[in-house]
Amino acid sequence: MSRTFPQDSTGAAGALAGLRVIDLTQMLAGPFCTQILADHGADVIKVESMGGDGTRVTGPFLAEDATRDYGGYFQSINRNKRSIAIDLKSEAGRDILRQLIDGADIVIENFRAGVMERLGLAYETLRQTNPRLIYGTVRGFGDPRSGASPYAHWPAYDVVSQAMGGMMGITGPNAETPTKVGPGVGDTVPALMLCVGVLAAVRHVQRTGRGQFVDVAMTDAVLAMCERIVYQYSYTGQAPKAEGNRHPLLCPFGLFRSLDGHVSIACATDAFWETLAGLIGRPDMAKDPAFATNAARVRNQQQVIDAVEAYTAVRTKDEIGAALGGRVPFGPVYTAAEIFQDEHYARREMLVEVEQPGANRLVSIVGVPVKLSESPGAVRRRAPLLGEHTDEILQAAGYDEDAVARLRAAQAVR
């Protein structure tokens, strides 16, 4: 079901071809942002410490992989990038980075606030020699330049931003059990918003010739995604709580048991509800004033849920899909194994096979979700080995072979 992209394929240039990004990020939020830029053609140079991004040692690994240069985590969010390893504790290393940034369009980092300042590489310093520079950051609580959060120096990960951004408070089986959302949306959503901000800044540079500082706080991004809780509290004075697989404003809208798992059904309009009621053998409920309108169904949602589950619980996901699919908003709750078997993801090229160093077989990672008709993005190459492109990056920056050899001997680069 996967599509294979040859390791050295350059594919289409991509909409962002010609942009150079210096990627100083690690873990998930920053690398996810820069990977999106790389997917669409930007030349992303991943600058790593001499020990490499910490996710290189995070599995899973293939059983046959003897080298373990990196596992699935790193592979999944660092494709299409080039890697250089630099010792930023050394003056020579900082000089290299400064030269790379002077020749770049964008720099993105997710250090704690103040780290780049201590290295002598603050935005205000870098813009003096590169006034077109777009400097993007993603941190747990943002950068003080945009608003001095009392938590600015707190470290943060996905679970922290999910917790403080309001997501966990409305997720879980009941109001007393806040629950983490499965994927790392506390990282990936801020990454997406940073992409939007960076591309908006690219447009501004094109118009004015002036770069700017782009700041995204992970907590802010999660709160923006949970926008419903803000207006609900403002309008009603009541803080929304977790309601399991139900929706506080729409009914039926959630998950329902089937013989072999669960399905999602979302009737956000009375017209959809009328269709569903007929399909499940309860056309009477579409005419009954207690259920005919969404407001009425929300008031009597347990009876609605019971009626829908009386239909779904005795049928398989496939049987329910055959009856409801295309007629009301419906989808089975998939496992990863079922995603690999669904023709939708194959036709949309969302399962892509890439080379895995240290192994003799290909592995699958997720494809590019944003489809452009004239300048499509693509998975052009696997994630890089640590320092795999150091020599070519340095030589392109003006260092000759002897200079590169001296930097290696001095352990300023790897």
Q: Which residues are catalytic?
A: 187
| Alpha carbon distance 165, 106 (integer Å) | 28
Phi/psi for 338 (5° steps) reads: -70, -35
Q: How far is CA 134 from the centre of its chain?
A: 21
Token pair, residue 194, equals 């940073």
Q: Is 241 left (phi over 0), alpha (psi -120 to 50) or beta?
A: beta
**Residue in 142, 98, 134 with CA at minimum distance from that of residue 116:** 98
DSSP state for residue 54 in the 8-state scheme: G
CA distance 131 to 246: 51
Give the strand pairing for 43-48 and 134-139. Answer: unpaired
Question: CA-CA distance, 298 to 246, in Å (whole number)?
Answer: 10
CB 101 within 8 A of CB 121: yes
- Specify the residue for token string 């939708």: 344
- Which string of DSSP letters, residue by residue, matches 85-131? EB-TTSHHHHHHHHHHHHT-SEEEE-PPTTHHHHTT--HHHHHHH-T
Cα–Cα dist 167/179, whole Å: 9
How far is residue 76's CA from residue 53's CA, in Å, rounded to a whole number? Answer: 13
Produce one character per residue of 270-294: b if its CB has 16 or more CB atoms within 10 Å, e if not: bebbbbbbebbebeebbeeeebbeb
Between the alpha carbon of residue 113 and those of residues 151, 168, 178, 182, 287, the distances in Å are: 11, 26, 29, 28, 59
Q: To 5 degrees, how large is the angle CA 219–CA 222–CA 223?
A: 85
Burial environment of residue 154 by CB neighbours within 10 A (0 to 12, 13 to 18, 19 or more)? middle
